[in-house]
Amino acid sequence: MPRIGLDLPNLVHAATELADTQGLEAVTLATLALKLNIRSPSLYNHVKGLPDLRRQLALSGLIQMSEQFKYALTGKSGDDAVRAFSYAYLTFARAHPGLYEAVQRAPEPDDKLLQKAGGEVVQMAVDALKGYGLEGDEAIHAVRGIRSLLHGFVSLERQGGFGISLNLDVTFEMLVHTYLEGLKAIRRKIEG
Amino acid sequence: MPRIGLDLPNLVHAATELADTQGLEAVTLATLALKLNIRSPSLYNHVKGLPDLRRQLALSGLIQMSEQFKYALTGKSGDDAVRAFSYAYLTFARAHPGLYEAVQRAPEPDDKLLQKAGGEVVQMAVDALKGYGLEGDEAIHAVRGIRSLLHGFVSLERQGGFGISLNLDVTFEMLVHTYLEGLKAIRRKIEG
DNA sequence: ATTATAAAACTAATGGTATTAGTTTTAATC
DNA sequence: GATTAAAACTAATACCATTAGTTTTATAAT
């Protein structure tokens, strides 16, 4: 019996385009309604409001990240796996700056769906560092570490935080390589 | 002949308190005017508008960072210097989350004052890595690296991106240590 | 084909925001 | 004590999210 008009996926898709081309700040109910040729109150038939729209963007971003990281990791192990994960991370953040930003600003601790989607992305990082000889707490610290440097680089690059003169891909390559060499060096020290 | 009322430093101080206690989003002309017991249009006697207020916050944050980093670095060199810089960075970000956020969102490429203040902070990172045997481009990449991991950690920690179970200070310590060990390991390889 | 239904669109209205224009107040100087 | 200019004010505008209530319309059942 229902009438079919817009659906949530289309709406999120349009919002994603806005976010990725003009920044997350540009995603308002007003601009989204304009893009979709409807009046902004009509959007409330699909989302609860602006915060809910932002949440949907974050969720969509996390799901896409999971898919792409899983694809990048298949068949890889050791250094190759970490490198593949790192480049997939960088590639996603560059291709979807608005979506990436939406993912960062979704810290609702009691949102189970969001927590689960985020957990799956983190699990990819854990998988990438598997077979590095890290156990227990050490593995958790190492995963936090790789996440920190990836997010930090991507975030500084996006906001133009680095000077322009020197190739950024080389910096990224060196950063990941240095961290991995550090992990290996520390393991050598411990194992004697 | 002028009449003396509010001045810019007081205004920025009040805005900083708002930002650090309630988040940068909470810094609006309305809330700031409320805190200062004036009407919001009166704020236009001191700042050009909300974007200008945010810029003043960013500028103030960068200046404070410079001062604190310089103090932390005096008399230190080698690993000690990098560690001191890193902890000063972490300490500032934890003490002034709103100000730190304001600094991140100030990417006006043609703002010379802001550029200069940011450049001074970056110079502190360069100084911290002095005497690490890095030359030319390699030094620039290494500085970008340490900035990435510091910002990434601080950013993820602030937004609750890490699970709660494991001590974050230990993660931070390990992250910096791993990166430094990586730099040393790579140098050993090159020098044979 | 007609009709009933319920989702999805709409209009109208409210309250909050930044911002501008123009006026009044007031502290410091002469 | 008069002058002055900054700093406060009020009033008004435009844009935003949001709510309430109404109308439209594609679907599903008759």
Q: What is the pLDDT along chain B (192 residues), one digit of tens a residue?
A: 678 889 999 999 999 999 999 999 999 999 999 999 999 999 999 999 999 999 999 999 999 999 999 999 999 999 999 999 999 999 999 999 999 999 999 878 899 999 999 999 999 999 999 988 888 999 999 999 999 999 999 999 999 999 888 999 999 999 999 999 999 999 988 887
- Residues whose CB falls within 8 Å of the CB of residue B173, separated by 6 or more in sequence, listed in order: none
| Residue A46 in this model has a pLDDT that exceeds 80 | yes
Q: Which of A130, A148, A147 is nearest to A139 (CA)?
A: A130
Angle, helix B168-191 to helix A168-191, in steps of 10 degrees: 100
Of residues B128 and A5, more confidently modeled: B128
Cβ contact, residue pair B181, A179, below 8 Å: no
Distance in angstroms: CA A13, C1' C19: 33
Cβ contacts of B151 on chain A, cutoff 8 Å: 152, 155-156, 161
**In a mutagenesis test of the A interface, which of B144, B153, B168 is the best target, namely the one with the most A β-carbons within 10 Å?**
B144
* Percent of chain A residues topping a pLDDT of 90: 87
Would you state the pLDDT for residue B180? Answer: 97
Give the least confident one: A74-78, A187-191, B76-80. A187-191
Is residue A56 within 8 A of residue A47, CB to CB? The reply is: yes
Give the least confident one: A33-37, A90-94, A133-137, B172-176. A133-137
Asked if strand D comes closer than 7 Å to A42 Cβ, the answer is no
Write out pLDDT tens, residues A9-38: 999 999 999 999 999 999 999 999 999 999
* Percent of chain A residues topping a pLDDT of 70: 99
* CA distance, residue A31 to nearest chain B CA (Å): 20
Residue with CA nearest C1' of nucleotide D16:
A30
Q: Looking at this protein, which amino acid is placed at residue B64? A: Q
Would you state the pLDDT for residue A192? Answer: 72
Q: d(Cα A42, Cα A134) in Å, to the nearest integer?
A: 52
Phi, psi (degrees; rounded to nearest 5) at A183: -60, -45
Distance in angstroms: CA B14, C1' D8: 18
Cβ contact, residue pair B159, A107, below 8 Å: yes
Q: d(Cα B94, Cα B130) in Å, to the nearest integer?
A: 26
Q: What is the mean pLDDT of residues A95-111?
A: 93
Q: Which of B76, A62, A76, A164 is nearest to A156 (CA)?
A: A164
Q: d(Cα B159, Cα B175) in Å, to the nearest integer?
A: 18
Phi, psi (degrees; rounded to nearest 5) at A116: -65, -45
Would you state the pLDDT for residue A1? Answer: 66
Q: What is the mean pLDDT of residues A90-98?
A: 98
On the 0-12 / 13-18 / 19+ scale of CB atoms within 10 A, B109 is exposed
Q: What is the mean pLDDT of residues A131-151?
A: 94
